[in-house]
Amino acid sequence: MSFDFSFIVYNTQASDQDIKKILTFKEDEDEDDGEEKSEEELLSETTDSLRKFFFDCIQKFPPYLFELPEDLLPEDFDEDKEILYQIHPNHIEIFYFADVTDELNKLVLKLAKKHKLGFWDVEEQKLVFSPPQH
């Protein structure tokens, strides 16, 4: 299945160098040790804010190809709104179809603000939101 667009939500507390890598898709080669990690392992390795963002987001946009216990999925699971989440230590990549763009954009912006995360629109190559730094 091929998705149309993508967003990145990221930890703004990561180093400037890490954020630059995230937004330019230049991951460290040694980050991938060749072992497939379960979704639960990936979630345990990400930040608390990103984990909370993910669990809030899947209530409206369930994960595609993501093995989670039934009790963590929304009760009114809508397969038409499934999106692909790729979980990383300091960011989550979100891949989606064009027909959910407006609704997803509004939700991701709302949740990025709530959890104090940065929000990058990959197609537009622009920063949508970054929380104020204290």
pLDDT at 30 over 50: no
Q: Which residue has the higher pLDDT, 110 or 1?
A: 110
| Residue 106 domain boundaries | 5-25+38-67+76-129
Of residues 128, 129, 96, the one with CA closest to residue 6:
96
For position 72, what pLDDT does the model report?
66
Residue 30 lies in a domain: no
Query: Could you report the per-residue pLDDT of 42-78, keeping only the tens digit for each?
Result: 999 999 999 999 999 998 998 887 776 666 666 776 7
For position 101, what pLDDT does the model report?
94
Residue 59 lies in a domain: yes
For position 82, what pLDDT does the model report?
87
Residue 108 lies in a domain: yes
For position 1, what pLDDT does the model report?
67
Residue 50 lies in a domain: yes
Residue 102 lies in a domain: yes
- Give the CATH number of the domain where residue 84 resides: 3.30.70
Residue 96 lies in a domain: yes
Query: Could you report the per-residue pLDDT of 73-127, keeping only the tens digit for each?
Result: 667 767 788 899 999 999 999 999 999 999 999 999 999 999 999 999 999 999 9
Query: Looking at the 3D structure of the chain, how many domains does it have?
Result: 1
For position 121, what pLDDT does the model report?
95
Residue 85 lies in a domain: yes
Residue 88 lies in a domain: yes
